[in-house]
């Protein structure tokens, strides 16, 4: 009998959940329905999550905390500035010590290499809460939002990305491909996604009818699309590039004229926080086609499914180092 492969210990990239994504989204939807009905299940009773943040956060922090609380567990906010990490204690030592206290660690990092280092030394699961390469929790919520609006079916749908070839796009390339959703990406020529992510997405789309295409023309990407997604032009940690980026991204604003090129039923996604008047206009973000607020709420439901998957009762026991 074929044995199911052992699931990875950590969620560092969407590739760690790619084979499981459909099931994770179904579970997130079920947890959302339960919450709406006022049902609370202590699926993570007695479990503790340590949350290391090197960068600010509103949605990720609060959704992790509320998710742990709703599931009967506890979350501890750890600003890297206040940890000994900020005074030079190594990531490896931090990982080994935290693993003696908590059942999982979420980490928002500047550098993906630090994420990998933390996961290497932690005996407990590490969940990527955003780094310079990926934002897997965000994209799980994004797919949940699209799945709801398309009544569970991604096949035959196309999402247009307009903006930077950044961490969110990398995760979206993998996530969309994994669920069979086509993606048209428009970025300025110097801001394309890393080619490894495009190649990995192309591999994941094999066996589906989904496609991945890249262009430097936002209109080409958006024309006939079922949804449009944009993100900030300047991500956290890139502030010194602000001027050059504002120049390069002129023409990549998601405004009413651009949205009019998509299908009449198309909706608009933004992971937030938004820079209103830059990558998106007030009229689009606050308008009837904006899905951004549902998308933000879905961070909570997606995070619950992720937490249950990575630190729930069915998780393997860990050997402590």
* DSSP β-bridge partners for residue 312: none
83 binds, among ligand CP, ligand NVA, none (CB under 5 to 8 A by kind): none
Question: C-beta of 60: minimal distance to ligand CP in Å?
Answer: 3
212: Cβ contacts below 8 Å, ≥ 6 apart: 173, 176, 177, 182, 183, 185, 198, 201, 202, 205
Residue 235, interface with ligand NVA (CB under 6 A)?
yes
Among ligand CP, ligand NVA, none, what does residue 168 contact (CB within 5–8 Å per kind)? ligand NVA
The minimum distance between CB 59 and ligand CP, in angstroms, equals 4
- Give the shortest CB-58-to-ligand CP separation in angstroms: 3
> Considering only residues 104-133, where is the footprint of ligand CP by CB under 6 A?
130
- Restricting to residues 11-70, which ones interact with ligand NVA according to CB under 6 A? none
State the Cα–Cα distance between residues 64 and 210, nearest whole angstrom.
31
Give residues with Cβ within 8 angstroms of 238, minimum separation 6: 245
* Shortest reach from residue 57's CB to ligand CP, in Å: 3
Contact string (CB under 6 A) for ligand NVA, positions 89-128, x = contact: ----------------------------------------
For ligand CP, the binding residue among 83, 194, 272, 289 (CB under 6 A) is: 272
Sole residue written with tokens 């009544």: 151
271 binds ligand CP (CB under 6 A): yes
Q: Does residue 24 bind ligand CP (CB under 6 A)?
A: no
- Tell me if 232 contacts ligand NVA by CB under 6 A: yes
The residue range among 18-26, 110-118, 160-168, 253-261 that interacts with ligand NVA, by the rule CB under 6 A, is: 160-168
- Of residues 212 through 231, those in contact with ligand NVA by CB under 6 A are 231
Q: Rounded to an integer, what is the distance from CA 251 to the centroid of its chain? A: 25
Q: Are 267 and 290 in contact (CB under 8 A)?
A: yes
d(CA 225, CA 30): 28
CB 317 to ligand NVA: min, Å: 33
Q: Find the binding residues for ligand CP in span 48-87 (CB under 6 A).
A: 57-60
Is the Cβ of residue 83 or residue 272 nearer to ligand NVA in the bound state?
272
Of 53, 63, 194, 59, the residue nearest 110 (C-alpha): 53
Q: What sign has the CA pseudo-torsion 87, 93, 96, 100? A: negative
Q: Is 140 in the site for ligand NVA (CB under 6 A)?
A: no
CB 143 within 8 A of CB 179: yes
What are 38's two structure tokens? Answer: 């006022």
| Least distance CB 246 / ligand NVA (angstroms) | 15
Measured from the CB atom, the residue of 142 and 308 that comes closer to ligand CP is 142
| CA–CA separation, 111 and 131 (whole Å) | 6
279 contacts ligand NVA (rule: CB under 6 A): no
Q: Which of residues 165-194 bind ligand NVA (CB under 6 A)?
A: 166-168
Which does residue 58 touch among ligand NVA, ligand CP, none (CB within 5 to 8 A, set by kind)?
A: ligand CP
The DSSP code sequence of 149-184 is HTTT--TT-EEEEES---HHHHHHHHHHHHHT-EEE
CA distance 227 to 262: 7
Distance (Å, rounded) from C-alpha 50 to C-alpha 118?
A: 12
Shortest distance (Å) from residue 129 CB to ligand CP: 7
- What 3-state class would DSSP assign to 104? strand
- Only one residue has tokens 């003696």, namely 100
Chain residues that interact with ligand NVA, rule: CB under 6 A = 130, 166-168, 231-232, 235-236, 271
């Amino acid at each position: 009998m074929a044995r199911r492969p052992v699931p990875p210990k950590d969620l560092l990239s969407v590739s760690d959940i790619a084979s499981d994504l459909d099931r994770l989204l179904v579970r997130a939807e079920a947890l959302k329905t339960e919450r709406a009905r006022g049902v609370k299940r202590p699926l993570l009773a007695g479990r503790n999550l340590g949350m290391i943040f090197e960068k600010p956060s509103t949605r990720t922090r609060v959704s992790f905390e509320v998710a742990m609380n709703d599931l009967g567990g506890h979350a501890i906010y750890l600003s890297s500035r206040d940890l000994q990490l900020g005074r030079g204690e190594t990531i490896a030592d931090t990982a080994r010590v935290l693993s003696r206290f908590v059942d999982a660690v979420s980490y928002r990092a500047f550098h993906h290499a630090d994420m990998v280092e933390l996961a290497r030394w932690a005996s407990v699961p590490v969940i990527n809460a955003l780094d310079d390469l990926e934002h897997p929790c965000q994209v799980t919520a994004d797919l949940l939002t699209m799945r709801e609006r398309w009544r569970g079916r991604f096949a035959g749908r196309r999402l247009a990305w307009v903006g930077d070839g950044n961490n969110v796009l990398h995760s979206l390339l993998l996530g969309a491909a994994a669920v069979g959703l086509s993606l048209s990406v428009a970025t300025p020529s110097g801001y394309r996604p890393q080619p490894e992510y495009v190649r990995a997405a192309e591999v994941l789309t094999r066996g589906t009818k989904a496609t991945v295409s890249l262009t430097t023309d936002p209109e080409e990407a958006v024309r006939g699309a079922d949804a449009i997604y944009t993100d900030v032009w300047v991500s956290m940690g890139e502030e010194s590039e602000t001027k050059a980026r504002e120049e390069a991204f002129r023409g990549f604003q998601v405004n009413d004229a651009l949205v009019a090129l998509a299908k009449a039923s198309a909706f608009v996604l933004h992971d937030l926080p938004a820079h209103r008047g830059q990558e998106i206009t007030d009229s689009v973000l606050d308008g009837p086609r904006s899905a951004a607020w549902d998308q933000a709420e879905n961070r909570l439901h997606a995070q619950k499914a992720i937490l249950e998957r990575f630190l729930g009762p069915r998780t393997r026991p860990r050997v402590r180092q």
